[in-house]
Amino acid sequence: MMHLLPAFFFPIFGFGFVMYFLPSIIALARSKRDIAAIVLLNFFLGWTMIGWVVALVWAVKADVPMVVR
């Protein structure tokens, strides 16, 4: 029975890890301009759920084009 424990725990922890860092993964996939800030917000405040939602919204929000003068 003990040899089956990793088969149950690794997928659960892996899924939790992916869900926690989902905003960071989306930001990386979309090549966001503020990737470092999104990752830091997600890492330090994602556990508050408010920080996670803010990071997720920031990650999916379209970047505003920069104006060159």
CA dihedral 43, 45, 47, 52 (to 10 degrees): -90
Identify the residue whose tokens are 């301009």.
33
CA dihedral 21, 22, 25, 31 (to 10 degrees): -120
pLDDT above 70 for 67:
yes
The confidence score (pLDDT) of residue 13 equals 76
pLDDT tens for each residue of 11-42: 777 888 899 999 999 999 999 999 999 999 99
Does the pTM exceed 0.85?
A: no
Tell me the three-class secondary structure of 7-48, residue by residue. HHHHHHHHHHHHHHCHHHHHHHHCCCCCHHHHHHHHHHHHHH
At 68, is the secondary structure helix, strand, or coil? coil
